[in-house]
Structure 1
């Protein structure tokens, strides 16, 4: 094993909200990684975060973090509308980037990020953590192996009812708030990762008074009558399950399907549920994958590929166009 393989990856985090806390917690479980620095526009917030997770440095601005020569990789957890700007900032300083989903606000921004990563020969990956979770990989394998034959229909939903606070990021259109980009991306991901891109999309939505989408219903159509019925909503708590109806049985990812969960297989009147004994928040798995890519001098993931991220954003763009959701 080379020295590079033994290297401890020094991580930085930009944006110190709820998800950043979960990521930092999981980073503590990874032997070849450490939280080296964090950055916020608020120095006090950065100081408190660094103290909580034993980061060596707390910056009161993002530019100082990316200029630190000791940092190998940066996790970007700022609001959606800043993903493009902050990814470009890191990549132009040759810092490997793991950027939260959605990768950016639209396909054009994603293309710019990918082009910048390639120009700087620097690793870039969308942090679609679900793809790397053991229970989701378990389901993908069953679908690939056609354990119950081919998938005929998918039903996937994600809904919760937050307290109405129009000052919150979730309800703030200028920050990319709303159900589609925040949570609707997960049902779309479930369809794309199992059936690929649809040949036809039908979408409809409801909106809050401030033009932020409150719910979105999507129907993806494929060849031979195969469908994916997808839903996101901020108006009610839903099962948040992903169910794959196959020719000879059903594969069901139980609530909440996008995070550490379990899977029920149903066939011929019999059910069996597999648990996966998760001991972390789940961000552990994508980070381990990313660390290995970095050690192997890779600039693109072989799982969360550029092509997959581009297609995911293209589907989001299509749905937005159909429902009349414009962030500009």
Structure 2
């Protein structure tokens, strides 16, 4: 397998986590990084032994030195940057949420199809060996008919109103950043829900700080999910069925162990001893897809991504949460941040927990 050459846009916390796991990738080379801040680009390049550091996103996107670009900027910039990559013929792994709403996502996947370019939302949890094991157990009927999922993603986040998580202009709030994970888990097994209900706490900066989400399916399943930027929680997940249940251990979205417990209380536990946080697995998946000439991953397809963001849109509608430029927001008209905008905001994608 030839070494796929990777570039990273953004140098915040998630980019650091991604880059530090990159050494565990089967076949790939981290070749370039771009940040609007020269000091950040240089420091990041030095830390991870990356040959090329760009201070302009578009120089990296148009560089002949990379095959695929990982986008790790705040949510609202995903659309413009992914679009630029597709138009430049560059494969893309874009951090979740792929964009801030379904219409943006649909437009980009259509464009990727038209230009025959590989694009994947970086739903790294999908490729975690524990999640693969849980999928296998459910498919093999280990817990009978799966009918209920409970999952949390909580942490105590920043209070600085300008931080990307607290800033409505940057697509802040709990749902898009971390609520996406429990919703992803529910839809991985049940597909798009027929019923969506959300109770949320909205903070002073108008972003969602905490929510309890209830999803329902006409075929008889329920999911009870929560996301919080203001609470501590072990962040476990449980899948309940007619013959037993599965527990995914604390912090389920990057877990290294899980167990299946039968109705008569027999327990079987599995542990995986993989290095790092597990970001390497999504990279391996992208590299495999590129090798096979695919433009989307069968394991986290465009359809999966679109159904996920569609549900997040509905959850937001339920609490009247709109981002600038969306129908329903105070400015009410659609707009995209132009390229200039990207150069002037100095917010990086930072997160102490992911």
TM-score where L is the length of structure 1: 0.96
User: 2:211 is paired with a residue of what secondary structure?
Assistant: strand
- Describe how 1:129-208 pairs up with structure 2 within 5 A: 129-208=124-203
* Cα offsets for 1:85-140 (capped at 9, x unmatched): 11001111001000010010000110111112112111000000011110001001
Q: 2:158–2:165: 8 Å Cα contact kept in structure 1? A: no
Other-structure match for 1:326: 322
CA distance in 2, matches of 1:87, 1:173: 21
Deviation at 1:48, TM superposition (A): 0.7
Deviation at 1:296, TM superposition (A): 1.6
Q: Alignment RMSD, CA only? A: 1.1
Deviation at 1:224, TM superposition (A): 4.7
* Cα offsets for 1:188-218 (capped at 9, x unmatched): 0010001111111111211111111011111
Q: Does 1:39 align with 2:1?
A: no
Q: Which is further off, 244-253 or 219-228?
A: 219-228
CA distance in 2, matches of 1:29, 1:132: 14
Q: Does 1:269 align with 2:253?
A: no
Other-structure match for 2:274: 278
Other-structure match for 1:293: 289
Q: 2:256–2:273: 8 Å Cα contact kept in structure 1? A: no
CA distance in 2, matches of 1:83, 1:281: 23
Q: Which has the higher contact order (CA 8 A, sep 6+)?
A: 2
Which sections of structure 2, spanning at least 5 residues, go unmatched? 325-354
CA distance in 1, matches of 2:144, 2:293: 39
- Describe how 1:95-134 pairs up with structure 2 within 5 A: 95-134=90-129
Deviation at 1:29, TM superposition (A): 2.1
Other-structure match for 1:68: 63
Count of aligned positions: 323
Other-structure match for 1:251: 246
CA distance in 2, matches of 1:309, 1:14: 21
CA distance in 1, matches of 2:134, 2:169: 36
Other-structure match for 1:3: none
Other-structure match for 1:223: 218
Q: Which is further off, 88-97 or 235-244?
A: 235-244
Deviation at 1:31, TM superposition (A): 4.3
Q: 1:260–1:278: 8 Å Cα contact kept in structure 2? A: no
CA distance in 2, matches of 1:244, 1:51: 43
CA distance in 1, matches of 2:233, 2:39: 37
User: 1:45 is paired with a residue of what secondary structure?
Assistant: helix
Which sections of structure 1, spanning at least 5 residues, go unmatched? 1-5
Other-structure match for 1:233: 228
